[in-house]
Amino acid sequence: MIKREFSVVLQNEGRLIYGDALVTITRIKMSADLGIAYIYLSVYNAMYKQEVIKMMWENLSRLRGELGKRIRKQVRTIPMLKFFIDDTLDEVEHIDQLFSQLDHEEEKYRSMKEAIEIRKKQEDEIEDADL
């Protein structure tokens, strides 16, 4: 519920806070007493991701207030919000690039290996023809 409602808050208030950056909530973890919401965000279209998080911290009371308006009938207390950058998608992209590089390197060696196999077959055919 917090994730859904805070997403709406970011859609409504986000552009006023951090401009053209695209911020998505990847996950939210709640403390045991539901008093703290640890919000993990992915930030795109921004030169410095940490600056976007800094702007959100500067507007924390505004964001928490907007969230409170949306969920106050469903919870006893509005949780404190803590923001973190989630670099998981960036890491996945980096690993994909590494795998692509490995595949490209493997293709070089594979084609040489195939060339050697073809040459051996041709030599075997020539030997068979001579017999």
For the chain (131 residues), the mean pLDDT of every run of 10, in chain order, is 80 77 85 88 80 84 84 82 80 78 68 75 78 62
Range of the domain at 48: 2-86
Q: What's the total number of domains in the chain?
A: 2
The verdict on 80 and 51 lying in the same domain is yes
The verdict on 24 and 64 lying in the same domain is yes
The verdict on 64 and 94 lying in the same domain is no
The pLDDT score that the predictor gives to residue 130 is 66
The 8-class DSSP code of residue 47 comes to: S
The verdict on 44 and 63 lying in the same domain is yes
Model's pTM, two decimal places? 0.61
Q: Is 104 left (phi over 0), alpha (psi -120 to 50) or beta?
A: alpha
